[in-house]
Amino acid sequence: MFTSKITKIAVNILIILIAQNIFADDVFDGVSPQLGVVISDDYIEQIDFVVMPSGDGLPGGSGNAVTGKVLYSIHCMACHGPDAKGGINGDLAGGHGTISGPIPKKTVGSYWPYATIIFDYIRRAMPYQLPGTLSNNEVYALTAYILNLNGVIGEDELMNAQTLPKAKMPNSEGFIWAYSPSE
Ligand code: HEC
């Protein structure tokens, strides 16, 4: 019993000494722990692409829903279902008018406030198993197809950096600012 108390005290003293030594030496001395590597400008360019709700950041290229439908059946239908409904993963169309009701059905069409962020999302994250493999033209066409399925645009309307920000989403007025942006 007595021995074990002494052992505990000794261990505690040792821990304090080690800790003091570590803190005294490096951590608070402004010395970097030398972890990681500096990332290159090329790599930053590859991952630093954001499309803002306003359409800022949209790249060149274009596509319509007719082309988008073909691409959708190849790259997306397996998970999101025919006509973007009833697949094993989320519906991208339908649910319109349900958001303020008792059973809201959130889809890209019923919920998302900006058409531009559909482009951003697909380019960044889809197809789920192979993100980053679609060209900008393909992403524009797929975005156009999803918009068309949701009744936002006609099937031959061309989506590009100028037209996509003008596509008005059904729920674009359904959001309120939690705080005033000017404050
Ligand atoms: C292997 C299955 C798979 C494939 C193929 C796939 N997706 Fe998805 N998709 C998902 C999953 C899973 C999510 C949900 C991801 C999450 O919430 O993190 C998702 C989410 C999305 C969303 C956001 C839905 C929402 O309401 O938040 C969009 C838009 C979308 N996918 C579009 C596409 C398009 C376009 C393609 C074809 C280019 C595609 N997906 C192919 C699995 C898939």
> What's the pLDDT score for residue 52?
96
Contact present, 85 and 152 (Cβ < 8 Å)? no
Question: Whose CA is closest to 143, among 67, 81, 73, 86?
Answer: 67
**Residue whose CB lies within 8 A of the most ligand 1 atoms, among 80, 108, 138, for a mutation test:** 80
Average pLDDT (8-28) is 61
pLDDT (tens digit per residue) in 55-70:
999 999 999 999 999 9
pLDDT digits (tens, 9 = 90+) for 138-166: 999 999 999 999 999 999 999 999 999 99
Q: How far apart, in Å, are the Cα atoms of 24 and each of 16, 29, 35?
A: 12, 7, 20
- Give, for ligand 1, the residue of 73, 76, 111, 140 to mutate: max count of ligand atoms closer than 8 Å to Cβ: 76
Query: Looking at residue 5, what is its pLDDT?
Result: 79
d(CA 111, CA 106): 5
pTM: 0.81
Which sequence spans correspond to the domains of the chain? Answer: 1-32, 52-166
Determine the pLDDT at residue 71.
Answer: 98
For residue 123, is pLDDT > 70?
A: yes
With cut-offs at 50, 70 and 90, classify the pLDDT of residue 16: low
Q: How far apart are alpha carbons 63 and 60 in whole angstroms? A: 11
Confidence of residue 7 (pLDDT cuts 50, 70, 90): confident
Q: Which CATH number applies to 52-166?
A: 1.10.760.10
